[in-house]
Structure 1
Amino acid sequence: MLWSSVKINEVSSYSTSDDWVELYNLFDSCVDLSLLKLWDSSTGSAMRSLSGQSIAKHNWLLVDVNNRLGKDADKVILKFDEEILDEMDYGGTELFAPSDGQVLARSIDGTGVWQITTQPTINTTNIIVLPIVPDNSVPTSTSTTTPNTEAEAQAMVTDWAMIRINEVVSDPEAGNEWVELYNLSNSDQDLAGGWLCDNREATSTCKEISGTIMASGWLKIDLVTNSYLNNTGDSVVLRQPDYTEIERVVYGESSAPVKGQSLARGIDGTGNWVITINITAGAANIIVVPAIPINTGGGGSGSGSVESNAVKVSVPVVKKIATTSTAAVEKDSVKIVWKMQSPYGLAPGEMGLFSVVGSADPRGGVVDYVWSFGDGTTSTGQIISHAFVTSGIYVVDVFASSTTGTKGDKSVKVFVGLGFSVAQAQVVFGEIKTNLESVGYDNESIELINRATTTQNLAGWKLKNKAGDEFVFLPNTVISVSSSLKFYRAVTHLSFNKDGDTLKLLSPNNQTLIIYDLTKSEEKKNLTTSSTTINKVAVKSSTTGAWTVARGVVTALPGNFGVQYFYIQTVDGGRQVYQYKKDFPPLAVGDLVEVRGTMSEISGTKRIKISNRNQIDILSTAQKIDPVTSELAELGVESLGDVVQIKGEITEIKSNFMYVDDGTTEIEVYFKQGAKIDKKQFVEGNLVEINGVLAQGKNGLQIWPRSQADIIVTGASEDLIKKQQLSAGANTSKDTAEKYLTATAGGITTLILGFLMRARGALVVGVGKKAVSLAMRLIGRG
């Protein structure tokens, strides 16, 4: 189901003849529209059924809707049954209704923002020609909402969301300070009436700007002074004519450029902010960082610590700029070396993980990454979690800029819609008949079953044998809920080696979802999956040395118990993931990962051995795994590697472990060094709740807590309470006796010392000393 790639692209609602709607196909193949309909704001009936219609790849389709659309305001909706695939509405404050001779069109086919244009482009690339606005007037419009001021009229025809602050000189060597703006759109923009402000937030101090900025071009704004911006830290704020803030760039003392430097984006309009000695007013930014960082606070990378509140826009970032300066940048043959991971498909609202961990600059520089997700949002960093709100095909771009000047960009398509999610898929093998069973060519088949509660789109998924032969599922291959599809050999052309083979189910971006071992004599079993987000990967996992692909949630990190391994929880139980080199990607408890390696076993716990970090893919984050709760007597070796939860009494504490008894039996709770358990926080008789990984020790089963937080003291046993009460009483009696004796000793000592003070002669003094000593001994015995 690739209908989400079809977008409403152009609308004519004010016509002397029939109204029409133009659609555009973003996908790389033809899409059948037979089940779709176009609706307006009326719910009585559709404007037009698209039965029998199709739309070629990257092409347009004109649909006549008679005179159904309202001139003042209306809505155009593309629907499949009750699912809205795309919609747009006009006649409000965000998008005015067009007038005679005008149409509504996207600024970029299929993805851009909606604008009024005087140039209809039926079945060809949209070209935006903004209406001419007469002085002291507003565009002709029959909309019930009209701008109240000249500033609002200007804001209406200028797409301010596409304008970016691009370069700043706050401490010029000569002349005035200036700010360069960049136009992300593919049309010229009139900036008259806009404002540039600093951090004083006073409109009286803002600088009014004027001029036209060319499509994908630059405009230098002279601030007419060399003292407007603070050299040690300030803000540069872009506002549209009605003072609505478009973008704010904040730089501090540690990230302020000095004379001979500017603050510039690593990539025009989208990149991270960097201090450069190559000032490029009115041209493409070319970053040359200072040889000795100045005012960087010892960071070493030359990057300014700059925060920018980017405006969310609906237009993809323009990457290629047809100018001489950009061509000069492209001459650099050294490019970023990419390693990128991204989801192929997601459900609306599902969090996907995007990673460029492992990408690098061949020149050795520090690389900044900027992501543009095609839905108007951007982000920075190596690992990003992102969810798309609505269905569609999104082109996700990541731009890289290094402190050495090396640049690069990478793009990937993400399919978002019901049935596109790979992480949530629950497609399993059903009955498999192959040439290994001598069933005859016509009967050889592979059955797939959907055990999820939603349909699953298999377009682009693959079946693959051990020899590398593969069958790619065709567009619109959809398995309904609790249904199955059967694929015969006449279609797949897959055959299998009689000495043994494997059958793999792969996602379109080659993630292995299921591996099934095929042998001539093996009894075929239907595979099942859990209802959780962990997809079960089936293999002869008990066979040491067998290749396996497993999905599970990280339950213990490298370093909790040992630096060469961590634990995951799969639907088949806990697994230890081991690597001798200790080279793992950044992991967090709750990460859903796919691990590819060979099976082995350590002290009864199933282990997956890998050779490098590339055998681990992080599929999503923040997954929840509930521990297995059980009485101790019911725990067995089948649960080794699982995260378990027990409750009981601490019966004995040793140097690096303690015993806990729940009334059925007792178990050893072992304190691994990496868990950093402080046993002084516990006493024998404490009632505790303990979470940890079940492991096999020398004397039986053990529980390994991962940190101090895994052991919670919930109370005290009756024996401990009585012991504490007796101890408290004994301490009270002892304290009373000591206070009485101390007072008595003090009184006697005072009498003796008084006697000594009156006495004369050495004999009397000596006798007095002995008396005092005797009195103190007597008191001590008491």
Structure 2
Amino acid sequence: ETNQDSAEFIEIWNNNNASITLDGWKLSDLSKVITLGAITLVPGEYKAIYRTETKIALNNSSEKIYLYDNNGNLIDEISYNSTIKGYSLSYNIKQNEFLWSSTKTPSKMNEFTMPNEPPEAIITFSHNPVAPTEVFTVFATNSTDPDNDALSYFWEIGKKFQASGEQFKYSFDALGEYLIKLTVSDKYHNIVATTTISVMPAVDVVSLRSQSDIKSDKATGSDPAAITSGQIFITEIFPNPAGADNDEWIKLYNPNNFNIILDNWIIDDQEGGSKPHTIIDRSIGAKEYLTLGKEETKIMLNNTSDEVRLFDIKEKLIDSVLYDDVKEEQTYLKTDEDTWVWSGEVQAESVDYSITDYATAGYEAINIYNATNQDIVDIDLPDIRELELGTEVRVQGTVAVEPGVLGKTYFYITGSPGIQVYFYKKDWPQMQVGDMVGVIGELTESNNETRLKVASKEDIVSLYESDPPEPMDMQTGDISENIEGALIALAGELVEKKGTSWFIDDGTGEAKITFQPTANITKPTAKSGDWIRVVGLVSETQSGYRVLPRYQSDIGLIDPDEILAQDAGQVLGASADNMQSDADGIQRFRIPENNQPNKIFIYLLITSGALIILLISLIIKFRMETKKRSKSA
């Protein structure tokens, strides 16, 4: 016991089955040694020796205490590197460790009232740096409390702005560095964290984000960064003006709430067409349109059919439009329903249309799905990663999690292993786990994870209902690219909690488990050393692989004895049925593979064995007949 001067004591416990006399025993710290008197402890007895008796003053910073018997043998020692005022450092028999407790029990069995630990305050941003007037989100979602106390959040920016809650949106008009202050309270402690956010010229922000392909952290539930995620759109094309074609133009739209610099972006037509045009000294304002004429781009659009493509400064395809059945003196225009129409009202400046306007005006509406269908590649899900990024594909798979559970803009289909399906509009068709769906989309990559980007709601079709996919049992150290998108099951020891992520290890290596806020999963009460069972989907980020639990039932504590009961080398819960899960998904739609070769092999093995036995019998019979003939001769 420390921090109360004369009330300090050192307690000795006899954990033997016989009485012990302490006469001549020695008790010491690093600066003083005292000899104990005639004290006898019966089995299980506790004895508190106070500072008034020992004259040993325990340090409040760090200390080491020794106990020797009357022959000078070291019997026990204990050390600490810090103290908590009013708390005693007490030995917990069940846990076999010393713990700080506010309940002091001198000369009695120890009781434990654990101290309330302070929360950890963590600030994250949807973007940092940001451009002037760009709206960004500030999060405290990674803040944690060891005691699972309810937390409150209080924000300050300078002297004029205050906010409460787990997150808020903000923007700055001027360039500079700004201090963000967060106070996290659990009713017992007020913990302060500060950090800065940089406001830089838009051109510098564009360059930084494009070079590192930064996107906002999905764990915070924020939207992807517009600069690198295809959110500059080609919205209108004028390929065939009346007379000479010098008045051709292409129109772009910026859906974001901040300006984007287009320097070194590239626009061109189909492969083998005009020379690609590198955009120089051009920017596009927030929520504004930009028209690029033929005089500037030198792109000659075909009057029959063609494709217009837009690439960012990393030469990553941002948007593309294929058109045909060209009509003279009409523009090919994208409506707010994501359909394309030919319009006779030619305007190079901004104008908004709706699909109903064209229906009533008698214009011909062309669905984007039909316009691009000719370029679609049919592929089986297990082979999809063999294709190049940018390929338009048609694939089938089993829904492993519905849209909106792990993120508002995506869901997963599985089938050796699986893939993320992304749709920025979030206008999803009805589906449920276990449904077999067909998907048409562009093969893209986000945060190193391969995904399918669909263009419209009609590109996802539910084929029929089926059983929910079964997870594959895996070891924690075996998570890699070859199971990206797969639904797996893990079991391991909890080794660390960090923000919205836990780390578990079954002895083969650590696996990161990330709890998405949209999944609304209540983390089980667990501490380091507890064993956890997790089911989730394998996802990749810039920092590596992670497993995303979908539902509350996907995670729970398990008994370590259950682990020990497994056969050596077998993953917890592995079964013949689970090991067949990689045959789910697209395999269900194929003609079942012919298993005749296996049957033929077994048949040949049995037949050859029988022939060998028959041959041996004939040899023995032949020798016996030979001997008989020799004797008769």
Same-fold call, TM cutoff 0.5 = no
Between 1 and 2, higher relative CO (CA 8 Å, sep ≥ 6) is seen in 2
